[in-house]
């Protein structure tokens, strides 16, 4: 809580070594999809200091429109358990712990656990309280070992949530997501400016839905459905921010999200849909993005 007469002190999250945020000023650009797949792609990597597999968790800070319960196939999975001390225990699926407002809101249908249609109608202070609870009241100790990295999925925009996060928590890195359109880029610039104001270090940019590789076509020429990518690279260079990678638009990515299964974990032989070269490019670029984020997080240790 703010202290009288002094600046707000930023805290670490208990049992979490590094915090990396996935954000964008713009809605619907793929933040949640990338946050989820980044978390799993990191979990497939090793801690560069200990050589043990990275222990990763994911925290959904989108209070009004949480996506992680769906993306983790944990929708209507019931309420999370509490520790004896009253801390909230994360929910786990596919071997990865996660927490979301979506697990904490009640159903409006009598006798049902389905809270999909329950709206959150809160003003600023309530939002701040919910963010504080999600940041500090979750027990990430995971078999007593804790997490190497907590990936935070942010809501769109520059409102209460990024402000509260930046003021209360020491953040170690931030991945900014954009699509090639100018409308997205303009919001992205505002988002970056805001995050810098609250001292969140920007790790780099990801260009999502950069192009489409038609699976059934004889040529593998990328189709720039949302326009050329030049403006994105111009913005990155003007902001002196590295580009971590590009991800193509792939049908299986969105289908996989709806099925609650991270695309990076899919075995390409078992998928019901042939995404052609887009599949290979998406996975390898996501793995590269995770490698860059991992290196950046531990660089100044």
Chain residues binding Mg ion by CB under 5 A are: 31-32, 67
Q: CA-CA distance, 208 to 170, in Å (whole number)?
A: 27
Burial, 65: exposed, middle or buried (Cβ in 10 Å; 0-12, 13-18, 19+)?
A: middle
Would you say 10 or 75 has its CB closer to ligand ATP?
75
Q: CA-CA distance, 60 to 32, in Å (whole number)?
A: 8
Q: Give the three-class secondary structure for 257.
A: helix
Does residue 62 touch ligand ATP according to CB under 6 A? yes
CB of 32 to Mg ion, least distance (A): 3
Instruction: Show the beta-strand stretches assigned E in the chain.
Output: 16-23, 56-60, 91-93, 96-100, 147-153, 173-178, 204-212, 243-249
Tokens coding 131: 């963010």
CB of 205 to ligand ATP, least distance (A): 14
129-137, 142-150, 159-167, 243-251 -> range binding ligand ATP (CB under 6 A): 243-251
Interface with ligand ATP in residues 253-292 (CB under 6 A): 253-254, 257
Beta 91-93 vs 56-60: how paired, if at all?
A: unpaired
Would you say 55 or 293 has its CB closer to ligand ATP?
293
CB of 62 to Mg ion, least distance (A): 5
Would you say 58 or 244 has its CB closer to Mg ion?
58
Q: CA-CA distance, 29 to 185, in Å (whole number)?
A: 10
CB of 234 to Mg ion, least distance (A): 26
Interface with ligand ATP in residues 14-43 (CB under 6 A): 27-33
48-56, 86-94, 127-135, 251-259 -> range binding ligand ATP (CB under 6 A): 251-259
């Amino acid at each position: 809580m703010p202290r009288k007469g002094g600046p707000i002190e930023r805290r670490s999250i208990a049992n979490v070594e590094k915090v990396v945020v996935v954000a964008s000023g713009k809605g619907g650009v793929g933040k949640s999809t990338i946050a989820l797949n980044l978390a799993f792609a990191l979990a497939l990597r090793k801690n560069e200091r200990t050589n043990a597999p990275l222990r990763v968790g994911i925290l959904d800070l989108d209070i009004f429109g949480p996506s992680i319960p769906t993306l983790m196939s944990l929708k209507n999975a019931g309420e999370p358990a509490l520790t004896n001390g009253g801390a909230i225990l994360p929910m786990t699926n596919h071997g990865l712990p996660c927490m979301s407002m979506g697990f904490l809101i009640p159903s409006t249908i009598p006798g049902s656990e389905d809270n999909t249609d329950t709206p959150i109608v809160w003003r600023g202070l309530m939002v701040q309280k919910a963010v504080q609870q999600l940041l500090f009241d979750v027990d990430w100790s995971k078999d007593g070992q804790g997490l190497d990295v907590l990936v935070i999925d942010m809501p769109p925009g520059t409102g209460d949530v990024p402000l509260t996060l930046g003021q209360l928590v020491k953040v170690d890195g931030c991945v900014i997501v954009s699509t090639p359109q100018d409308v997205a880029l303009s919001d992205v610039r505002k988002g970056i400016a805001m995050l810098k104001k609250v001292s969140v270090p920007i790790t780099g940019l990801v260009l999502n839905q950069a192009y489409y590789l038609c699976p059934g076509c004889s040529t593998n020429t990328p189709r720039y459905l949302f326009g050329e990518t030049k403006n994105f690279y111009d913005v990155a260079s003007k902001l002196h921010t590295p580009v971590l990678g590009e991800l193509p638009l792939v049908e299986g990515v969105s289908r996989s999200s709806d099925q609650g299964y991270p695309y990076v974990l899919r075995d390409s032989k078992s998928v019901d849909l042939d995404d052609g070269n887009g599949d290979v490019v998406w996975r390898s670029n996501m793995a590269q993005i995770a490698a860059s984020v991992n290196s950046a997080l531990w660089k100044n240790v």
